[in-house]
Amino acid sequence: MNLPLKGIIPPMVTPLNSQMELDIPGLEKLVEHLVSGGVHALFLLGSNGEAPSLSHEIQKELISRTCELVDNRIPVLVGVSDTCMTRTIEIAGFARDEGAGGVVVAPPYYYPLSGEEVINYYESLSRKLPLPFLIYNLPSHTKINLTVEAVKRIREMGAVGIKDSSGDMLNLYSLIEAFRDSPEFSVITGTEIFLPATILHGGHGAIAGGANLFPELFVNLYEASVAGDLKAITKHRRKVMMLYQTIYRVGKHASRYLKGTKCGLSVMGICEDHIAPPLQRFEPDEREEVKKYMEHLSLMQ
């Protein structure tokens, strides 16, 4: 895996059928949709990938199948966050054996942890990880926000980048400043609408859920940002903003961005939209809404 990691990295949804098994034909179509869309890497088993809701068996099957389908065309990153460190190490080893290029690790998300405990956790874990790792900052789920200082220390343990999903642009800017002189360390936003600002200020890319649906749109926005082409940025980001105002607004719970993404893919005929408990796929009327929006968004392209 070339460093720094950069570009558009979809946090891939995990296609499931009604039996809560892997939707294999859906997975095949999804991987081709993304790779042919030009994305720079894949990120499996993040929040969008429903990792915490899936059994270990399905997680492993997903890793194997995806690595096989991607066949080294782009790097595959695997989310290995878990409340149990033994389990994190085990799945990371499995991912390496299947050909993944790196792993992504959020702090354990059950106990409310202090900054010091999180540092100790990464210290202890990093010695046992068989692959390069990205830090995953996701305070809404883990109940802790990693400070710039903490990220610096974890970089010294070997982290190759950070995915910041704090939603806090000032935090993101501070990370970019802090690692301006560490050219191999990636600062990647987890908030897709922050992509142009991230790139314009010196960051590296976006783990963008919407890239599941529209990989080319995000790749175009990334390239326009790298080129500093304000006109093209304005055009593409307008459409990304529309995602927030349409697909991500259907339904009423915090998880609707995930439900909307999976539903949109189903509307496109790419994969099924079943979702593992505790979440549930959209009801028919919500699906109708997504369908209408998808048509509208397609016309914009």
Closer CB to its own copies, 191 or 212, in the complex: 191
Min CB(296)–its own copies separation in Å: 15
239 near its own copies, rule: CB under 8 A: no
Which residue of 28, 61, 98, 168 would you call a contact of its own copies, by CB under 8 A?
Answer: 168
Alpha carbons 122 and 160: distance in angstroms, whole number: 13
84 near its own copies, rule: CB under 8 A: yes
Alpha carbons 175 and 188: distance in angstroms, whole number: 10
Task: Read off the tokens for 82.
Answer: 């878990």
Task: Read off the tokens for 157.
Answer: 């343990």
Helix residue ranges, H only, the chain = 24-36, 56-70, 85-98, 115-126, 139-142, 148-156, 169-178, 195-200, 215-227, 230-245, 256-267, 284-300
Binding mask 12-51 for its own copies (x = CB under 8 A): --------x--------------------------x----
139 near its own copies, rule: CB under 8 A: no
| Stretch 249-268 residues interacting with its own copies (CB under 8 A) | 252-255
Binding mask 98-137 for its own copies (x = CB under 8 A): ---------xxxxxxxx-xxx-xx--xx------------
DSSP, collapsed to helix, strand or coil, labels residue 162 as: strand
- At position 188, the amino acid (one-letter code) is I
Task: Read off the tokens for 222.
Answer: 């990334």
- At position 295, the amino acid (one-letter code) is E
Who contacts 263 (Cβ-Cβ below 8 Å, separation ≥6)? Answer: 247, 250, 273, 281, 282, 286, 287, 290
53 near its own copies, rule: CB under 8 A: yes
Min CB(206)–its own copies separation in Å: 13
Min CB(35)–its own copies separation in Å: 28
Binding mask 194-223 for its own copies (x = CB under 8 A): x-xx--xx----------------------
Calculate the alpha carbon distances from 123 to 128, 184, 244 in Å: 9, 20, 37
- Binding interface with its own copies (CB under 8 A): 20, 47, 52-55, 83-87, 107-114, 116-118, 120-121, 124-125, 140-141, 143, 167-170, 173-174, 177, 191, 193-194, 196-197, 200-201, 228, 230, 233-234, 237, 241, 244-245, 252-255, 276-280
